[in-house]
Structure 1
């Protein structure tokens, strides 16, 4: 297996991708370096799986060794990292002010920051950098991921929030202990923007309640990741997010038009324009599909830490499944007291059938069907097989049987388990 050493000068970045079927190992031999804001420990082996895109940055100088086959490997001497650090410094100043003013005003909180921009400009990466720098300053920010197409906190088709108490693992990301997850059920807000906005509002209420309970969390603030849909209804959704979360700072990555529109339409919120990193890679549709499959596979089987999910049969009689959203009706067929958007949030009971095969089911924490819309989920199942003769469904589950007596939400997310 090939081994290469790279020496990085001050404020430079080593970028590479892991292609093929084999993983790549990286070791920091000397100096200091970080990956997306997480410091590397000297002489520790970090392993990256196929598909990983890595950027090793140093504020000083360093030497790293890479073992394995990489693609597109080069050292960049011009990066936006200094601008990102300055952004962190501005946010930290607001956190200090929140700390200082807390005794006078119990509702004082740190900055709620929202990162926006089109697809593939590095929004998730910038979120990680800002969150990691905040934690390294002793803060405990909340990370909110509203990008349903990617699923950085849970699987794709969800939006989630998690309290960040330690820097992200270089190989596995942020700790997933006790995340708050809502099932949207689709990989783009376009499919049901009415439901998307409702869940955003609900998430905002819970996040604000969390901040009100813990002073350190309140002072640390929130970092919000958003979808790459920034036009038409997507733009309206961004403004809804800003309003629901009472955003203080909006960071626009790589699109001046979006920056100017937000400055014009939301003058009472500070809007900042930042360039994207030159290391950002534009993904094809096939790459996005593979990334979504990987996020689901990671949920059931783990990434670095290998999990062993369970597979078992569940009788039809034990399944209570609902779908959110019904086909639109013509205005002439609508009841007099029914709004046009009501069909987007209508609960439709689903009878088990072979059509469920490969579907992802969200296990809701709701005890009544009327609460399904506004309640977070406990986890997910994947339907492996459906036996209509035996009236049973074979599911892939992270927990052994029996299943809890719970209501389930049918999503449009599919997963073909090949493990």
Structure 2
């Protein structure tokens, strides 16, 4: 692919021609300011306002696209280049196809199912731009006065809530150029791990529960039903990952699957999914690079930090609380099944994938993210009921029998049943007690 490179400096100016894209990564620890000087441009489908300064944090990966022409200025240290080749034409064509299906759903003389708009699922390996395309499609839908539901099934790099979760959110306004979509009133289910394969059975149970909640929302609100559902998935596509993709397509009743980058996955899904499911093959997003495990870890830490502390544009001020051991119950979802050979003849092993069991309070909990359950007693429903928040365990004092937790609210809510997760976050901020 032909690109035009520009050396790194404190101030860089770029002249973008029609259908060009400026791609940059904020390097080091400094912020980078983006400003549109002339013309028109967008970032992942969000319109960039002229002469407004957008400040991106360290580590941000940004693509500034123009359908016409634009003059863009960057201030700060950034690795940047302009590319004349992007997949945006294909992406806007996909959006146009979705919009046509919404119009059919909105037309009483043509629609087959009342209020049933398109349900599209984006699949592919890691680092091909599924999250980016999800954001673009959501933004374009909102700019057409639609209000789709966005679903994120990626437990490793979830964009709706903390890592280790799946969830859905109603999109009714374009994403902020820097901070992304507002995350008000999401529905979030705690999975507790970064790998769907750690507990396949629990992951499918959560898929079913979330899909039912999403369907209920599309029935309750006619406009939401017409606007449809946009689903992002994780990059696990082999073996159990492929099965999870097929399960998600079935449970969410998708009618379109967009496969990014991998032709083999495209061919396999054509053989597996029902004929009424339209499967399209798209190139990966331009400028996407394979991220190292260190970069992924940093991204997850930033996601947890955002949950507790917000962003530069919208800061949160969490609090610390000392919680006596006798005022909290910590549980874990999922435990080992009894081997079949150890059971009496004729008995089948129970499904322990969603079994809720007590988890001992110990120093092992330090730095772990814990989910807040809405229940006040141990029940099997803890595993498949939306959570209403998260805390981070900062300290465990075995002598005083108390633990210190970080909470985004100014009071620690009741009931206090905390659900263990494998997600860890080392918090180095000073917050009020």
Q: TM-score, normalised by structure 1?
A: 0.97
Deviation per CA, 1:200-229, whole angstroms, max 9, x where unpaired? Answer: 000000000000010100000000000100
Partner of residue 69, structure 2: 61
Inter-CA distance 344–53: structure 2 relative to 1 (3 Å threshold): same
> Matches of residues 328-343 of structure 1 in structure 2 within 5 Å?
328-334=337-343, 340=349, 342-343=351-352
For 2:194 and 2:87, the matched residues in 1 are separated by 30
Inter-CA distance 339–153: structure 2 relative to 1 (3 Å threshold): farther
For 1:65 and 1:228, the matched residues in 2 are separated by 34
Out of 86, 89, 104, the residue aligned to residue 82 of structure 1 is 89
Inter-CA distance 307–7: structure 2 relative to 1 (3 Å threshold): same
Partner of residue 143, structure 1: 150
Partner of residue 387, structure 2: 377
Query: Does 2:44 correspond to 1:36?
Result: yes
Q: Report the Cα offset of residue 337 of structure 1.
A: 7.9
Partner of residue 92, structure 1: 99
Query: Does 2:163 correspond to 1:156?
Result: yes
> Matches of residues 286-301 of structure 1 in structure 2 within 5 Å?
286-301=294-309
Partner of residue 110, structure 1: 117
Inter-CA distance 279–367: structure 2 relative to 1 (3 Å threshold): same
Q: Report the Cα offset of residue 95 of structure 1.
A: 0.3
Partner of residue 6, structure 2: none
The answer to whether the Cα contact below 8 Å between 1:194 and 1:341 also exists between their aligned partners in 2 is no
Partner of residue 412, structure 1: 422
Partner of residue 358, structure 1: 367
CA-based RMSD of the aligned residues comes to: 1.6
Q: Report the Cα offset of residue 193 of structure 1.
A: 1.1
Query: Does 2:335 correspond to 1:319?
Result: no
The answer to whether the Cα contact below 8 Å between 2:127 and 2:291 also exists between their aligned partners in 1 is yes
Inter-CA distance 340–3: structure 2 relative to 1 (3 Å threshold): farther
Inter-CA distance 159–102: structure 2 relative to 1 (3 Å threshold): farther
For 2:226 and 2:341, the matched residues in 1 are separated by 52
Q: Report the Cα offset of residue 105 of structure 1.
A: 6.6
For 2:393 and 2:322, the matched residues in 1 are separated by 10
What is the SS of the residue equivalent to 1:378?
coil
Query: Does 2:96 correspond to 1:119?
Result: no
Q: Report the Cα offset of residue 365 of structure 1.
A: 2.2
Inter-CA distance 346–370: structure 2 relative to 1 (3 Å threshold): closer
What is the SS of the residue equivalent to 1:101?
coil
Out of 53, 61, 68, the residue aligned to residue 45 of structure 1 is 53
Q: Report the Cα offset of residue 87 of structure 1.
A: 0.3
Runs of 4+ in 1 over 6 A off after TM superposition: 102-106, 335-338
Inter-CA distance 107–341: structure 2 relative to 1 (3 Å threshold): farther
Segment of structure 1 superposing worse, 393-402 or 8-17: 393-402
Q: Report the Cα offset of residue 328 of structure 1.
A: 4.0
Aligned residues: 418
Structure 1 runs not aligned, ≥5 long: none
What is the SS of the residue equivalent to 1:151?
coil
Segment of structure 1 superposing worse, 272-281 or 350-359: 350-359
For 1:136 and 1:45, the matched residues in 2 are separated by 22
Structure 2 runs not aligned, ≥5 long: 1-8
Q: Report the Cα offset of residue 102 of structure 1.
A: 8.1
Inter-CA distance 253–363: structure 2 relative to 1 (3 Å threshold): same
Query: Does 2:260 correspond to 1:253?
Result: yes
Inter-CA distance 219–341: structure 2 relative to 1 (3 Å threshold): farther
Q: TM-score, normalised by structure 2?
A: 0.94
Inter-CA distance 135–68: structure 2 relative to 1 (3 Å threshold): same
Segment of structure 1 superposing worse, 97-106 or 232-241: 97-106
Q: Report the Cα offset of residue 242 of structure 1.
A: 0.3
The answer to whether the Cα contact below 8 Å between 2:24 and 2:62 also exists between their aligned partners in 1 is yes
For 1:108 and 1:138, the matched residues in 2 are separated by 16
What is the SS of the residue equivalent to 1:344?
coil
> Matches of residues 131-280 of structure 1 in structure 2 within 5 Å?
131-266=138-273, 267-280=275-288
For 1:329 and 1:183, the matched residues in 2 are separated by 25
Inter-CA distance 389–14: structure 2 relative to 1 (3 Å threshold): same
Query: Does 2:15 correspond to 1:7?
Result: yes
